């Protein structure tokens, strides 16, 4: 098994369509500040050097610069200038299409007001968009329209059903709200009603102190643009929306999604500083995962860094657990191999998925795809050369991660063939 086999594998991976099973929408015309903000998980306005002098920044200069007509590793200043010289749509078109992503599953739970329409993104990307409905966002929107906790409980079910009708999956950001260490028991109706009353009261008290929701406009999109999973620090206005942190209602939403046999995406591992890192460890959710094994629903842990090995174990011992290392691949750049490798330690290969978790800017889409192809080629290529894996078997494993596993878990055809 020599260099030629590895080359064949790399070429096969290069040609594979990808299903990005967790991504977000794109900003229509990001300012330079918005671009930089979208390239970090920092909540503060990170200086350009923090963004560019990093593993992700180096990968961006290497892989995105040529797509804008520059040499690899063009300087940050040249990159920004080249980006400005092109229309935003052209930048997006080039980068999105170069990713080779054949379908996107878009979570619209964070600042959809800032993002382009699905239609425009689909046209620029030349790929269809499917929707992932964020449970917390649905619950918050319902509460904002209710006059009591009881009304919330009454209206929640229909709102979830309506969202389900348009979505291929659900998503929870419990990691950002109450952490993943959740009581495994399905909450009773009484539990949910009581929690809804308390949340409603808290929200009403808050609203009284800051004025009604919508009475002030959102602060301009700031340095936290990449904080796609939550927005507590988006200023006064954002905090004037109800924010679900109650673990009982969160568990109710999780059970609801799983019991209807849906796929539930669970943010796990790093993200922005609004989550408590240790509380985002997927292993913290073990009891709830065990309790829901018989529901017919599936759980997809997203990202998982630095808890990839823990997530792989959950996929090994539970029949309904899947994982990806999407956000980590994009940020780790030259060390993306490490998480691609760890994701294959214990998880059955059919449980590993591909995502970019990009938000706002197409650079992150391209990087997620480009870095995954390269890392998968190196990791699986090493297994071919050092461990005798047949190239066609390694290719099959890669193809599963790239798109076939996503079609199986979501029970949809995403890739036309």
- For its own copies, which is the closer residue by CB, 135 or 379? 379
Q: At closest approach, how far in Å is the CB of 380 from its own copies? A: 9
73: number of Cβ within 10 Å: 14
Q: Give just the sign of the alpha carbon dihedral 334, 336, 342, 344.
A: negative
Q: At closest approach, how far in Å is the CB of 154 from its own copies? A: 37
Q: At closest approach, how far in Å is the CB of 59 from its own copies? A: 8
Pairing type for strands 169-172 and 352-353 reads: unpaired
3-state secondary structure the chain: CCHHHHHHHHHHHHHCCEEEEEECCECCCCCHHHHHHHCCCCCCCCCHHHHHCCHHHHHHHHHCHHHHCCCCCCCHHHHHHHHHHCCHHHHHHHHHHHCCEEEEEEECCCCHHHCCCHHHHHHHHCCCEEEEEEHHHHHHHHHHCCCCHHHHHHHHHHHHHHHHHHCCEEEECHHHHCCCCCCCCCCCHHHHHHHHHHHHHHHHHHHHHHCCCCCCCCCCCCCCCCCCCCCCCCHHHHHCCCCCCCHHHHHHHHHHHHHCCCEEEEEECCCCCCCCHHHHCHHHHHHHHHHCCCCCCEEEEEECCCCHHHHHHHHHHCCCEEEECHHHHHHHHHHHHHHHHHCCCCCCHHHEECCCCCCECHHHHHHHHHHHHHHHHHHHHHHHHHHCCCHHHHHHHHHHHHHHHHHHHHCCCCCCC
- For its own copies, which is the closer residue by CB, 157 or 319? 319
- Residues paired with 23 in a beta bridge: 106
- For its own copies, which is the closer residue by CB, 286 or 355? 286
- For its own copies, which is the closer residue by CB, 82 or 346? 346
- For its own copies, which is the closer residue by CB, 121 or 355? 355
Closest-CA residue to 359 (of 330, 334, 402, 338): 330
Q: At closest approach, how far in Å is the CB of 164 from its own copies? A: 27
- For its own copies, which is the closer residue by CB, 152 or 313? 313
Structure tokens at 201: 């009261």
Q: At closest approach, how far in Å is the CB of 11 from its own copies? A: 17
Q: At closest approach, how far in Å is the CB of 316 from its own copies? A: 6
Q: At closest approach, how far in Å is the CB of 75 from its own copies? A: 10
Q: At closest approach, how far in Å is the CB of 273 from its own copies? A: 4
- For its own copies, which is the closer residue by CB, 264 or 344? 344
- In whole angstroms, give the CA distance from residue 365 to residue 361: 7
Closest-CA residue to 359 (of 129, 136, 111): 111
- For its own copies, which is the closer residue by CB, 252 or 404? 404
- For its own copies, which is the closer residue by CB, 201 or 317? 317
Q: At closest approach, how far in Å is the CB of 305 from its own copies? A: 7
- For its own copies, which is the closer residue by CB, 92 or 376? 376
Residues found near its own copies in the complex (CB under 8 A): 40-44, 46, 49-51, 53-55, 58-59, 62, 72-73, 270, 272-273, 276-278, 281, 283-284, 286-287, 290, 293, 305-306, 309-310, 313, 316-319, 331-335, 338, 341-342, 344-350, 378, 382-383, 386-390, 393, 397, 400
- For its own copies, which is the closer residue by CB, 125 or 180? 180
Q: At closest approach, how far in Å is the CB of 335 from its own copies? A: 6
Gyration radius of the chain over CA positions: 21
Q: At closest approach, how far in Å is the CB of 54 from its own copies? A: 5
């Amino acid at each position: 098994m020599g260099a030629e086999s590895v080359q064949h594998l790399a070429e096969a991976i290069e040609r594979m369509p990808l299903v990005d099973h967790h991504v977000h929408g794109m900003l229509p015309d990001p300012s330079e500040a918005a671009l930089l903000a979208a390239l970090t998980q920092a909540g503060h306005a990170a200086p350009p050097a923090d963004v560019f002098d990093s593993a992700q920044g180096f990968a961006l200069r290497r892989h995105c610069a040529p797509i804008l007509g520059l040499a690899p590793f063009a300087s940050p200043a040249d990159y920004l200038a080249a980006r400005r010289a092109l229309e935003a749509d052209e930048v997006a078109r080039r980068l999105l299409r170069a990713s080779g992503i054949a379908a996107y599953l878009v979570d619209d739970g964070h600042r959809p007001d800032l993002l382009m329409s699905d239609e425009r993104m689909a046209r620029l990307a030349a790929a269809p968009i499917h929707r992932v409905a964020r449970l917390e966002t649905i619950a918050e929107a319902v509460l904002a329209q209710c006059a009591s906790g009881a009304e919330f409980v009454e209206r929640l079910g229909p709102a979830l059903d309506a969202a389900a009708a348009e979505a291929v999956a659900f998503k929870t950001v419990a990691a950002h709200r109450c952490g993943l260490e959740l009581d495994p028991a399905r909450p009773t109706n009484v539990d949910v009603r009581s929690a809804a009353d308390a949340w409603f009261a808290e929200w009403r008290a808050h609203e009284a102190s800051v004025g009604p929701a919508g009475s002030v406009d959102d602060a301009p999109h700031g340095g936290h643009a990449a904080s796609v999973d939550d927005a507590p620090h988006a200023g006064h206005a954002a905090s004037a929306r109800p924010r679900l942190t109650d673990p009982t209602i969160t568990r109710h939403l999780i059970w609801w999604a799983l019991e209807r046999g849906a796929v539930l995406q669970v943010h796990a591992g790093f993200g922005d500083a609004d989550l408590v890192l240790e509380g985002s460890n997927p292993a913290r959710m073990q009891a709830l995962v065990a309790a829901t094994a018989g529901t017919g629903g599936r759980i997809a842990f997203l990202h998982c860094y630095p808890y990839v090995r823990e997530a792989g174990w959950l996929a090994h011992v539970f029949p309904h657990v899947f994982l990806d290392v999407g956000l980590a691949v994009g940020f780790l750049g030259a060390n993306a191999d490490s998480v691609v490798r760890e994701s294959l330690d214990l998880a059955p290969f059919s449980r590993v998925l591909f995502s970019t978790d990009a938000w706002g800017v197409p650079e992150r889409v391209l990087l997620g795809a480009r870095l995954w192809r390269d890392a998968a080629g190196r990791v699986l290529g090493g297994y071919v050369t050092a461990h005798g894996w047949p190239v066609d078997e390694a290719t099959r494993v890669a193809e599963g991660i790239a798109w076939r596993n996503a079609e199986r878990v979501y029970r949809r055809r995403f890739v036309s063939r």
